[in-house]
Amino acid sequence: MSDEEWERFLRESVAGAPGAPVEPSARAREVGRRLRERPGQPEGWRSYSPGRPRRKTGWYVAGLAAVALLAVALFPQQLVGWLGDEGGQDGKPLAAESQSPRQAPGAEPALRPTLAEPFRGSPAARWADGAAGIAVPEAKATGWMDAAQVEQALQQSREFMVAAGLDSRVLRGERPTKAIALLNPHQKDVQEYLRSALSSAATPEADPLRLFSRFRPERARLVGDVVKTRGRLTYREGKRGAVEVTADVTFVYPVTQAAGNAGPDAEVIRTIVRRKVVMSWDNPAKVITEPGTLSLVSYALDMTNGGCAGPTGYFEPPFGTAEKQSADTAHQVDPYDRSKPIDTSDGTTTAGNNDCATATRS
């Protein structure tokens, strides 16, 4: 290949060859602009050792730059995930959460949610829909399980989070049958909690919202059929060789009044719930359990726009009170910030004080 042909290839790689399958991102275009504005050959062209052909060194360095630019142009979401970018440039969907975020999502325009666009003005607009937003890691042999068994445990752990937080019937206040079926029936304290929480008036000790998302169907209804989610599963070896799976997931529920205004000016509130549930897949040779069921180790909850009164067993969105929200600057919370742990400083497994804190955005 002649020098002229090689230079034309590099120019087309940076600027975008005709008919390229994917338009370069804003980041790729900016890097390309800077390279094109440099006078003469690329800077790496002069990086050579005496006695060695200049062309090979120049091709190597400039070729690496071209490959890097092509990678940014063709695989922007993968690179975003590696770099930990929570900003979601250009309004594109975020890559799956592969590690704990280091900061809160960037600021969004202050736009009011509507029935047509319930996630408008929210970072959740770039989150995945439903179960797709719960990332599952690669399975490896851990504890008493081989890799295939760990994979099954991870998938069933995800199913539990879906059944508890996304099942449309449960959201309408019905019994969380699918989620309960995944719980170890021999775990006495959990079974007692379920009996109390789902058969009588809720109390702080027996509140179904600790594990399940529920709205009163006569007061609130979901806007559309999409709940935005973001989170992931992690796992490690637990007690007695068990596989301990931790789910940390944020759910964003857009709701409106069940019998309210159905027009374009209808009030839409986003109830934002973050749950952290630790599940143990026990070795049946050491713990009494049933195949395909998990034991609960702990569960914690953060909730915004879900009600500040005593527990009722349902989320209670504050319809008609948006303008009356307390401006408690001493106790504010960003419900979209997943870089901080859930506050359990009061020793409970519920939201502590965060359920009635002033939300910095909704």
Residue with the larger pLDDT of the pair 280 and 88: 280
Over residues 165-176, the pLDDT tens digits come to 999 999 999 999
Over residues 283-306, the pLDDT tens digits come to 999 999 999 999 999 999 999 999
Over residues 103-156, the pLDDT tens digits come to 999 888 889 999 999 999 999 999 999 999 999 999 999 999 999 999 999 999
Q: What is the pLDDT of residue 67?
A: 47
> Angle CA(181)–CA(185)–CA(188) in degrees, nearest 5?
135
Which range among 40-44, 64-68, 230-234, 314-318 shows the weakest confidence by mean pLDDT?
Answer: 40-44
| Residue at 210: amino acid letter | R
Give the N- to C-terminal CA distance of the chain in Å, as an integer: 58
Query: From CA 132, how far away is CA 66, in angstroms rounded?
Result: 33
Q: What is the pLDDT of residue 350?
A: 38
Rg (CA), the chain: 26
Please report which helix (H) or strand (E) contains residue 60, including its range: helix 54-74
Q: Is the pLDDT of residue 53 over 50?
A: no
Average pLDDT, the chain: 80
Over residues 198-232, the pLDDT tens digits come to 987 788 888 999 999 999 999 999 999 999 999 99
Q: Is the pLDDT of residue 6 over 90?
A: no
